[in-house]
Amino acid sequence: MGDSATVTDLTTLTSWHSDWKGLRVAVLGLGMTGFAAADTLVELGATVLVVAAKAPEEHADLLGVIGAELVEQPGLDSVPPRLADFDAELIIVSPGFHPDHTVLLWAAEQGIPVWGDIELAWRVRDKVRAAEWITVTGTNGKTTTVQLATHLLVAAGHRAAAVGNIGVPVLDAVRDPIGFDVLVVELSSYQLHWINQTSEGSLFPFASVCLNLADDHIDWHGTSDAYAAAKGKVYDNTRVACVYNLADEATRHMVEEADVVDGCRAIGFGLSAPGPSDLGLVDGIIIDRAFHDDRRNSAFELTTRGELAAAGLAAPHSVSNVLAASALVRAFGVAPAVVRDALATFRIDHHRTETVLESDGIAWIDDSKATNPHAADAALSAFDRVVWVVGGLLKGVDVNDLVARHTPRLAAAIIIGTDRQMLREAFARHAPSLPVFEVEATETERVMPEVVRVSATIARPGDTVLLAPAAASMDQFADYGDRGRRFAAAVLDQIAANNDTGGAADDDDTQSGHEPGTAAPSA
């Protein structure tokens, strides 16, 4: 680093209107997050060097226009000489970089502070007007809960936006020329890892929630404890309401251990009758006792499970998301009547227990967003008898408990993706008599057509063919959305078209089945 006399005191940079001019910042990564960070810093007057293993062409071209420098080094397995010479005072890291990445280890040795994009966004949130932040994390249900909360807030007349890990960089939102009343911020464990690194803390959200906790992203965090610790950061410095899952002890412990602002309340949510500080379910009615003035004796009725069914939100995990979102917005002052009316107009996101087709008594369901065992568990629990499409990149997570728990409801399993051996062993151990098939095709365009052809030979009236892979998608697909769209297209191409012609689904010799208890050869 440069002469200490020229180094900026980062503790003074707490506002858009602080003096950022001349601050030398290296940005790691040039995806949506990295570009938003570089663009923001240039606008603030900083000197910006972007370092990327691969720079998307559209972003790389724009860097020269806005006045940032780009260093592209394939692999990025060593510190680029230009970065070593840049004399960076701060590094902004994109969420995908592991904490033990070569460049980050070098930064630690050099004493260069590292922030995530969320830290930067919080500090400059007052460019137009400083919105309140409601922060949401959890192993599963984050996106739906963020969308629900935002929908309810907008219905109440607030200018609100769903941002963060949901796909819209927070830095883009804080630079909106009109500004927002409240930002509902979805935070991944990667983003949470980098927040509140200083002794005085950084984020001070209005309300926060960790929806649930199950092993995930162990390959990134290293251990389950490290993953849980990152998730728990969502509650730090919360000012008004820490919302937690009554059915998940880990989330309660997080709240108990969090350093919150005096007066902050703990608000529980669950699928049973609520206590005085909880939201819950009584005889199919969603009840809020937490925010009633006489909460020991009275409660508000928010909606019913029947009304939620019309919005596609009747499954237990969806009801939990509704309860969590309702708790967050009730803390913000949204009236019960507004919650009820707005829930009736909400529609769940694509690829989350989304019905593709119901034909001949068989339901075809796309839950491609079930990218880990915890999400797949929720999806499987919603159906009685399932032909399960499973597999992809398991990210170091054990699937044995998932397979054992749901074996009684499985009619068959169809394995796709790269990480097959663990699934084979789990089915052999816990479901030796279950018909298990493997789709051997590795070409992206062939995988889902073969899945559908196999499924059509197995499924019977009353069954659900469920794409809930319990794994990430990038081994064979661009992302979970691509995986889900290809599944839906194959269902509509083969099953719906077949119904139009009155024919029967074709079997195909490009997939392999096996007798109970034996494993088919992998691709």
Query: Model confidence over 220-278: pLDDT tens digits?
Result: 556 778 888 889 999 999 999 999 999 999 999 999 999 999 999 999 999 999 999 99
Q: Is the domain of 186 the same as that of 309? A: yes
* 139 known ligand binder: yes
Q: How far apart, in whole angstroms, are the C-alpha atoms of residue 17 and residue 37?
A: 17
Q: Is the domain of 220 the same as that of 241? A: yes
Contact 304, 128 (CB under 8 A): no
Q: Is the domain of 85 the same as that of 147? A: no
* 233 known ligand binder: no
Q: Is the domain of 416 the same as that of 277? A: no
Q: Is the domain of 89 the same as that of 132? A: no
pLDDT band at residue 200, thresholds of 50, 70 and 90? low
Compute how many other C-beta atoms are within 10 angstroms of the C-beta atom of residue 312. 16
Find the CATH number of the domain harbouring 23. Answer: 3.40.50.720
Domain that holds residue 83: 4-119
* 222 known ligand binder: no
Find the CATH number of the domain harbouring 359. Answer: 3.90.190.20
Last residue within a domain, chosen from 119, 139, 160: 119
**Residues pairing with 358 in the sheet:** 363
Q: Residues with Cβ < 8 Å from 283, sequence gap 6 or more?
A: none
Both structure tokens of 341: 């009316």
* 111 known ligand binder: no
Q: How far apart, in whole angstroms, are the C-alpha atoms of residue 219 and residue 114?
A: 21
Q: Do the domain assignments include residue 522?
A: no
Residue 517 has pLDDT above 80, yes or no: no
Q: Is 425 helix (H, G, I), strand (E, B) or coil?
A: helix
| Per-residue model confidence (pLDDT) at position 217 | 54
Both structure tokens of 330: 């009730």
Which of 209-218, 270-279, 414-423 shows the lowest mean pLDDT across its residues?
209-218
Q: Is 171 helix (H, G, I), strand (E, B) or coil?
A: helix
Q: Is the domain of 296 the same as that of 218? A: yes
Last residue within a domain, chosen from 87, 119, 151: 119
Q: Are strands 464-467 and 386-390 parallel, antiparallel or unpaired?
A: parallel
pLDDT, the chain, mean = 89
Residue 472 has pLDDT above 80, yes or no: yes
CA nearest to 72, candidates 107, 34, 21, 22:
34
Q: Is the domain of 410 the same as that of 498? A: yes
* 481 known ligand binder: no
The pLDDT tens digits for 277-315 are 999 999 999 999 999 999 999 999 999 999 998 887 888
Q: Is the domain of 390 the same as that of 421? A: yes
Q: Do the domain assignments include residue 232?
A: yes
Q: How far apart, in whole angstroms, are the C-alpha atoms of residue 343 and residue 152?
A: 7
**Residues pairing with 268 in the sheet:** 244, 278
| Helix orientation angle between 316-331 and 336-343, rounded to the nearest 10 degrees | 140
CA of 227: how far to CAs of 78, 79, 134, 139, 231, in Å?
Answer: 26, 27, 21, 10, 6
Report the helix count and the strand count for the chain, using DSSP H and E: 20, 21
Q: Residues with Cβ < 8 Å from 147, sequence gap 6 or more?
A: 162, 166, 346, 349
| Per-residue model confidence (pLDDT) at position 442 | 85
Amino acid letter, residue 98: H
Find the CATH number of the domain harbouring 316. Answer: 3.40.1190.10
Which of 114-118, 380-384, 416-420 shows the lowest mean pLDDT across its residues?
380-384
Both structure tokens of 357: 């087709």
Q: Is the domain of 52 the same as that of 138? A: no
Number of domains in the chain: 3
* 157 known ligand binder: no
Compute how many other C-beta atoms are within 10 angstroms of the C-beta atom of residue 190. 21
Q: Is 387 helix (H, G, I), strand (E, B) or coil?
A: strand
* 245 known ligand binder: no
Where b means 16+ CB within 10 Å and e means fewer, 222-243 reads eeeebbbbbbbbbbbbbbbbbb
